[in-house]
Structure 1
């Protein structure tokens, strides 16, 4: 197996935070995994599904949140809508805000 184990490997539909580059600090959803060290990211707003960003996995931080609707759509149809991705990211960010407030 690679240097990365299965738990630290990005999955389709997983929300990540970009650490490097001009989009640093922004959140995105993994819409594809390009072996061995790259993922395709989209946020549904600035970075649409049709122009997904290829990013090195060393330059992102994985979260534990997987957007089920996006993951299911990617598995079923091979692609996801920008609206679903925006909705998933908004849900994740709202969830994070609620945790901060506690």
Structure 2
């Protein structure tokens, strides 16, 4: 995962949902609709074929970008739900590991 600081959404970027039913959960940007909206999916509740359209004001753009998801989207135009789940679980594990290291 690459880490870059930017206020513009990017494909493959991991986001935290701030508003709505899924508040606090994570998703991955799979399409940028316009300057206000993106489509996100998590491969579990929100599959690639039925992504959620979210307003950028309702999302926290995180620094992590999944290179696997970006590569798949640019090569084939789609990404498997398994790859989305894997990228999110890897991100959550890294977050927990860094919190755990700081706590000791």
Normalization by structure 2: what TM-score? 0.91
Runs ≥4 in structure 1, deviation > 2 angstroms?
none
Q: Distance in 2 between matches of 1:101 and 1:88?
A: 20
Q: Cα distance, 1:43 vs. partner?
A: 0.3
Aligned residues: 97
Q: Distance in 2 between matches of 1:9 and 1:32?
A: 13
Q: Distance in 2 between matches of 1:14 and 1:77?
A: 18
Superposition RMSD on alpha carbons, in Å? 1.1
Q: Secondary structure at the match of 2:11?
A: coil
Q: Distance in 1 between matches of 2:17 and 2:35?
A: 18
Q: Distance in 1 between matches of 2:6 and 2:88?
A: 21
The unaligned stretches of length 5 or more in structure 1 are 1-5
Q: Look up the match of 1:43.
A: 42
The unaligned stretches of length 5 or more in structure 2 are none
Q: Cα distance, 1:7 vs. partner?
A: 2.2
Normalization by structure 1: what TM-score? 0.92
